[in-house]
């Protein structure tokens, strides 16, 4: 849950990474396919349209999404369909792929085969490969610098990352493969150095690093200067090395994607909202590191939402992890608990807190306890003769 909330809530440096990831969707000029357009013609390529219709592709969807491909003189509709069929994709799957990623039809068979070989470095078989293409066609067909991608895949394998993790990176964090491999190696070295400088053990270094990358590969898009700046800022705020390491692990590396100014704003707001000392605030942050991550508007909305439900500031300070819940989730959970006669404002927030699975488990326990009759072992039993 924390991962989703963090990504959704931070408007700072992370937004620039998200824009980078989305750039390929709206800028076809970045895609390194070889194709030409007849700029003097405003008519769609009739043969391309006919071939797409032949394979049950909804042309209206392509026109809405990326209509420019229909004006290309050179397309490879039949060729791409054939290679996808050879991989085991059925007609419905192929139509879906082309509708969601129309630029696939300007991908030459040679480029496709090179990309297929690249992805097969981390896919066990063709069945697994075609499954990934079905789920993430744009990641597969948005081809850029295949040699750099190959070098990065090999580097990640040498680092110890499992192929299934690397394949997830290819589909959801493809931009890290566009970094020169030396840049990624440099960032890995800086992360390792930072971990050891913060008091981490050499014996646990590899496990820590691989877990961090698995949880947040986007950390490789940072700069070394940004990492050092964030660490120095936190030390100036009075956090010890072990506490910073704790925050880094709990925030899955997203801590390095924050700028000191945004962290300072969140700290100042929280200190004022909770009327606490620097020491008390630090304890709150260690209990709920997301306080550093959330922007001031998000923190304000969540605190106000809790107060409107009758929850006090003292209760929030006691269980700050409740700030990870959106106002909508808080309202839903309080209604469910109220249905059992449980009054949140009169007690602790522990039963309100946690992931969806954790909450449902706690709710089930409360429900079972409410429905269980009280038994007095010394009361006489009424037994009919």
Is it the case that residue 95 has pLDDT exceeding 70?
yes
- Res 38: pLDDT: 41
Is it the case that residue 19 has pLDDT exceeding 50?
no
- Res 108: pLDDT: 93
- Res 254: pLDDT: 85
Helices 126-135/109-119 angle, 10° precision:
110
Is it the case that residue 5 has pLDDT exceeding 70?
no
Averaged pLDDT score across all residues of the chain: 85
Question: pTM score, two decimals?
Answer: 0.76
Q: Summarize pLDDT for 326-367 with one digit per residue, the tens.
A: 999 999 999 998 888 888 877 778 888 888 999 999 888 888
CB neighbourhood size of 188 (10 A): 17
- Res 1: pLDDT: 47
SS3 72: strand
Q: Summarize pLDDT for 121-138 with one digit per residue, the tens.
A: 999 899 999 999 999 999
Domain boundaries, the chain: 42-142
- Res 365: pLDDT: 87
Report the C-alpha gap between 77 and 166 in whole angstroms: 29
Share of the chain above pLDDT 90, in %: 70
Binning pLDDT at 50, 70 and 90, where does residue 377 land?
low
- Res 374: pLDDT: 47
- Res 12: pLDDT: 45
Residues in the chain: 385
Got the DSSP string for 110-131?
A: HHHHHHHHHHTTT-SSHHHHHH
Report the C-alpha gap between 342 and 336 in whole angstroms: 9
- Res 306: pLDDT: 93
Q: Summarize pLDDT for 138-190 with one digit per residue, the tens.
A: 999 987 889 999 999 999 999 999 999 999 999 999 999 999 999 999 999 99
Helices 260-274/278-287 angle, 10° precision:
110
Share of the chain above pLDDT 70, in %: 85
- Res 100: pLDDT: 95
């Amino acid at each position: 849950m924390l991962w989703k909330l963090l990504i959704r809530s931070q408007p700072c440096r992370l937004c620039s990474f998200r824009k980078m990831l989305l750039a390929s969707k709206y800028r076809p000029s970045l895609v390194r396919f070889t194709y030409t357009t007849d700029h003097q013609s405003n008519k769609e390529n009739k043969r391309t349209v006919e071939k797409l219709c032949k394979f049950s592709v909804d042309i209206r969807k392509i026109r809405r999404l990326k209509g420019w491909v229909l004006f290309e003189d050179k397309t490879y509709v039949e060729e791409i369909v054939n290679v996808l069929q050879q991989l085991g994709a059925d007609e419905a799957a192929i139509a879906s792929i082309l509708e969601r990623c129309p630029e696939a039809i300007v991908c030459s068979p040679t480029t496709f085969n090179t990309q297929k070989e690249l992805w097969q470095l981390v896919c066990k078989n063709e069945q697994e490969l075609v499954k990934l293409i079905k789920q993430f066609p744009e990641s597969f067909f948005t081809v850029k610098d295949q040699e750099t991608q190959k070098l990065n895949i090999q580097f990640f394998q040498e680092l110890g990352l499992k192929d299934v993790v690397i394949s997830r990176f290819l589909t959801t964090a493809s931009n890290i493969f566009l970094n020169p491999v030396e840049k990624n190696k440099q960032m890995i070295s800086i992360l390792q150095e930072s971990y050891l400088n913060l008091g981490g053990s050499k014996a646990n270094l590899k496990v820590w690093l691989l877990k961090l990358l698995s949880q947040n590969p986007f950390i490789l898009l940072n700069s070394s200067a940004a990492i050092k700046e964030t660490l120095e800022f936190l030390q100036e705020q009075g956090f010890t090395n072990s506490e910073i390491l704790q925050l880094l692990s709990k925030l899955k590396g997203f801590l390095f994607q924050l700028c000191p100014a945004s962290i300072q704003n969140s700290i100042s707001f929280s200190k004022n909202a909770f009327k606490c000392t620097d020491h008390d605030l630090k304890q709150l942050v260690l209990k709920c590191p997301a306080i550093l991550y959330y922007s001031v508007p998000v923190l304000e909305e969540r605190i106000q939402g809790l107060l409107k439900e009758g929850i006090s500031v003292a209760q929030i300070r006691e269980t700050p992890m409740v700030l990870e819940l959106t106002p909508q989730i808080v309202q839903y959970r309080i209604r469910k608990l109220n249905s059992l006669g449980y009054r949140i404002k009169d007690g602790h927030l522990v039963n309100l807190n946690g992931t969806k699975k954790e909450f449902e488990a706690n709710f089930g326990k409360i429900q079972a306890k409410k429905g269980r009759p009280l038994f007095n072992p010394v009361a006489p039993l009424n037994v009919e003769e």
